[in-house]
Structure 1
Amino acid sequence: MLDLGWSELLLIGIVALIVVGPKDLPVMFRQLGRFTGKARAMARDFQRAMNEAADEAGVKDVASDLKNATSAKKLGLDKLKDAASEFEKWQPGDAKVAKDGVEKPRGPETAKMTEERAEQARLIRERSAQVASDRIAKEKAAEAAAAETPASEPPAAETPAPETPASDKTT
């Protein structure tokens, strides 16, 4: 209410003692106490009346609605956090891990699809290895054929074309 320290109260007491006098000082303090009591009672009544008016106007309902609107739990953000934490904990594998940490086997369709995909991946790896080994064998055969041809014979593609005699040329 009033921000009075001990030094200010002492100064007020000394001034009151000088102005009012020592005989009338207790009477004045009694009257001051009654006045402050009445002022506090009026403030309590006013506060109570304002609260009742606010209740009648529905301010508490609006306040609770606003509180619920800003609540993470009411908005479903707690479920979103749970889902995000489950996603962070997720590890791909053959078994599904439940919330309690116990592994549960996958359903028959999921297991069947997993086996089919594993078989397809194995076939792709085998076919890729076969194609690579065939390519390497062809390259080695081409190198061996190039090493067997004698160096004195020019390749067929590099044979020069016959020249025409100079007498056939017209000037």
Structure 2
Amino acid sequence: MFGLGASEMILLGIVALIVIGPKDLPNMFRTLGQFTGKARAMASEFSRAMEAAADDAGVKDISKSIKAAANPQAFGLDKAREAAGLKDKPASATAKLSAERQAAKDKISAAAAQAAEDRQAREAAQAEMDADNADFMSAEAADTTDTPPKPKDEAKA
């Protein structure tokens, strides 16, 4: 309330008790409560009066029109299209263009899928070749380290 903390409220209560006195303090709080109630009632009455004036002036109708303008379907463009006969044409240029775009999309998707399959086949073949090379290299390394070197004395004999 009014940005006051508990300690500040206690301090104000003590000061009010000393300045006003214990006999008149309840009457002052009652008067303060009645004043606050009247102020709230006046504020709500003012708010209702302003809303009524806005309704009479047509502010709500304008706000509805603005909201409808943001949504073309609610604004009535569909009715205008129906009146112009634009919805009755099933094979319009837009529909033909849409069909052409769908066909192009399908063609591109098929080509991309084929390219992906080819790439996977190449990667699998490369991995197989790498595995074969690794086996061959490890076999060669094993062959050279398994045979012990000949002693120098036996080589001369």
TM range (shorter): 0.3 to 0.5
Higher helix proportion: 2
How does the TM-score come out when normalised to structure 1?
0.41
Larger Rg: 1
